[in-house]
Chains A and B, each alone.
Chain A
Amino acid sequence: MTSTLLSLANIEKRFGELRAVNGVSLDIRENEFFALLGASGSGKTTLLRMLAGFDMPSSGHILLDGHDISQVPPNHRPVNLMFQSYALFPHMTVAQNIAYGLEMEKLPRTEINERVDEMLSTIQLTHLAERKPEQLSGGQRQRVALGRALVKRPRLLLLDEPLGALDKKLRGEMQLELKHIQNKFGITFIVVTHDQEEALVMADRIAILKDGELLQCGSPHEIYEYPVNRFAADFIGVMNFLPARVDAGALCTANGSRISASLPADLKPGDNALAAVRPERLRLGAADADNCLNGRISAMAYHGLDLHLHLETPVSPHPLMVRLTADVAEGHPFAVGEEVSVGWSARDTRVFTA
């Protein structure tokens, strides 16, 4: 296991009455690709601004390589930020934008030129070195912004919604490109995003923030498969929730059918609970499964590589989402109104307090 690069100890940030960040503690490892995931207002941007040095925490400490940098101004931190708006200098060429940070380090001109050339070829913009930002496409600007921050070889690179302004197709490519670049440079990346898919694809670990507090931190797999509570389960991906009551080691739905699952210790018989299962864990007609439900197809959505069925069931006011892969859906001429039964295993069932 690699060592800890950045430690956040009980970080709090208040703006007047508002607690934008509330008691966040996190350890981020060397060479990690880390994602801060949250909706707007979750405190993720405030946290990022404190890491960059634009805001100071109201209390708590930020340790980088063991040194407290909480009060260090942004120009004296070995941390760089790639801005959401890119914030390129419009009066400078691409090459000048990239050289700027190195000039601030007072490096010799020859070294600056060498490193700028090297970076230009890494981001594949050598042929556009003399262009101004206004003459570049969105994707090219994004690469200049990345190069300008990376060329400083920071200990930590912060990326604020790095792919937010790109179109969907380019975003997919850049997700992998960013991972590749992070690997190549061996620099710790912290990405702030509201896009859970982006976080799942790129990050080694994800921290989910809600209302300024850290909700859950773990690998994409842990976050997706073992959400800590109802909010986390709902926030990442699609989740079906079935209201139920705890009854003698199992769950009992409103119409009396039983759902078997392993229950969290804090749930006592008689408590209200929610059974949760991902759409892709539901199988059609699996009568032998641990759990089974009958329902009527109320809507269908064809996505090419999979087919989504919405089932009306007696146990939940919300339709149950079933996701069938193309090979399963093939040869089933489903129709709205059709009665089907779905099953899933107890292993794939999560239980949350209602």
Chain B
Amino acid sequence: MTDRKPVYLMTPALAWLTAFMVVPCLLILALAFFRRGIYGGIVYEFTLSNIALVFDPLYARIFLKSAGIAGLAATIAVVIGYAAAYAIASMPRKRQPILLFFAVLPFWSNYLVRTYAWIVLLNREGLIVSLARAVGFEGELPQMLYTETAVVIGLVYNYLPFVILACYAPLSRLNPEIHEASRDLGASEWTTFRRVTLPMTVPGIATGFVFVFVLSIGNFVTPALLGGGQFQMIGNLIYDQFLTANDWPFGAALSMFLIAIMMGLLTLQTFASEKASGQQRAEVCDD
């Protein structure tokens, strides 16, 4: 008997992605190799100058800065998210779905609304300042809104549910007897965590980190609202090229570079987690 897989069921999804994702991306890619007209617009004349400009120290610095902020946000999100996922996975099985539901709840509200909420919290007359005053803090409080810190806070807050879900998956699949085996062989709780639980859940950490990093590095809403235009991340730079500077070819070149970074990271992460889940599959299947 031939094993006919219903491949045709993928057609709508493939068609959609091709028409609205692959083709536009290819168009952008193509734009990067043309010259900008003197008054904006595109002159169809091949050039590599846009690509070269991406590596100009001025723009390279913005790339590095964005990567730094995304990396910091991803690191903080992973630390907080892993701890939360660990706590949830340690709860009685029955209670875990409801806790996960609460952890993911903010996700169902509008991204902009959530980010505006942080403006309310962080501004000069905001909740945090009022609270500090209420408990009797008299001194000068540092500026919180429109700083890098505010952007990092906003990114961590927005993407934390991703990390919790990504870390929860491998943590909840751990065989509790492996933890007990480590204790039985003489390890303390901390050593057990460090040498057994943590290494076995690295795929979840990697997934969470890459997610937050990729979503953060290209983000332009949070830097615009919480960074107040004080500094630019790569997302804002691209936004400006297309909508303000009217330099579509350079915007396209920046976009391609950003997409390349994201694709590279996601590919690495996919391979890593594929390998890890392959291991777990082997464990389950073999006699």
Contacts and interface: CB of A to CB of B under 8 A. Distances in A.
Interface of A: 52-54, 73-75, 79-81, 83-85, 87-91, 100-101, 104-105, 132-134, 137-138, 148-149, 152, 165
Contacts of B177: 83-85, 87
A77 to B, nearest CB: 8
17 contacts: A52-B180, A53-B184, A54-B183, A75-B186, A81-B180, A81-B181, A87-B178, A89-B181, A90-B279, A100-B187, A104-B185, A104-B186, A104-B191, A105-B186, A132-B279, A133-B283, A137-B286
Contacts of B184: 52-53, 74-75, 79-81, 149
Interface string B166-204: 000000000101101111111110010001100110000
Interface residues of B, number: 23
A105 B191 CA distance: 12
Contact of A87 (B180, B188, B195, B279): B180
Given A74-B183, A91-B199, A138-B286, 9 more contacts: A73-B183, A75-B185, A83-B180, A87-B175, A88-B181, A91-B200, A134-B279, A137-B287, A148-B181
A75 B188 contact: yes
B282 interface: yes
B130 interface: no
Contacts of A148: 181, 185
B180 A74 contact: yes
Given A89-B178, A90-B200, A134 B283 contact: yes
Nearest to B178: A87
B280 interface: yes
A134 B187 contact: no
Given A90-B279, A90-B280, A134-B283, A83 B181 contact: yes
Nearest to A79: B184
B175 A85 contact: yes
Contacts of A81: 180-181, 184
- Complex A-B, nearest 6 residue pairs according to Cβ-Cβ distance, in ascending order: A104-B186, A101-B185, A87-B181, A87-B177, A138-B287, A134-B282
A90 B183 CA distance: 16
A218 B282 CA distance: 42
A54 B180 contact: yes
Given A87-B175, A87-B180, A87-B181, A104 B187 contact: yes
A85 B174 CA distance: 13
A80 B185 contact: yes
A73 B190 CA distance: 14
Given A104-B186, A134-B283, A89 B196 contact: yes
A138 B280 CA distance: 15
Contacts of A105: 186
A290 to B, nearest CB: 50
A75 B187 CA distance: 6
A148 B187 CA distance: 14
B247 to A, nearest CB: 50
Interface string B196-219: 100110000000000000000000
Interface string B217-249: 000000000000000000000000000000000
Contacts of B280: 90
